Amino acid sequence: MLIGKDNSGFGWDERRQRIVAEDAVWNSYIS
Protein backbone atom coordinates (compact mmCIF):
# COMPACT_ATOMS: atom_id res chain seq x y z
CA MET A 1 0.00 0.00 0.00
CA LEU A 2 1.28 3.45 -0.88
CA ILE A 3 0.67 6.18 1.66
CA GLY A 4 1.30 9.88 1.18
CA LYS A 5 2.14 11.98 -1.83
CA ASP A 6 5.66 10.67 -2.38
CA ASN A 7 6.58 7.11 -1.51
CA SER A 8 9.93 5.82 -2.82
CA GLY A 9 9.67 7.51 -6.21
CA PHE A 10 6.04 6.66 -6.88
CA GLY A 11 3.58 9.43 -7.59
CA TRP A 12 -0.06 9.94 -8.50
CA ASP A 13 -1.26 11.21 -11.87
CA GLU A 14 -4.40 13.15 -10.96
CA ARG A 15 -5.56 13.48 -14.58
CA ARG A 16 -5.26 9.77 -15.41
CA GLN A 17 -6.05 8.61 -11.86
CA ARG A 18 -3.19 6.13 -11.63
CA ILE A 19 0.17 5.53 -10.02
CA VAL A 20 3.20 6.74 -11.96
CA ALA A 21 6.94 6.22 -11.56
CA GLU A 22 10.14 6.44 -13.56
CA ASP A 23 11.30 3.20 -15.23
CA ALA A 24 14.20 2.86 -12.77
CA VAL A 25 11.77 2.98 -9.83
CA TRP A 26 9.54 0.26 -11.33
CA ASN A 27 12.57 -1.91 -12.15
CA SER A 28 13.85 -1.61 -8.58
CA TYR A 29 10.38 -2.38 -7.17
CA ILE A 30 9.82 -5.56 -9.21
CA SER A 31 13.32 -7.04 -8.89
Per-residue pLDDT tens over the stretch 1-25: 455 555 578 888 999 999 999 999 8
3-state secondary structure 9-30: CEEEECCCCEEECCHHHHHHHH
Quote the pTM value.
0.54
Reference 5, options 19, 23, 24; nearest CA is 19
Partner residues linked to 7 by β-bridges: 10
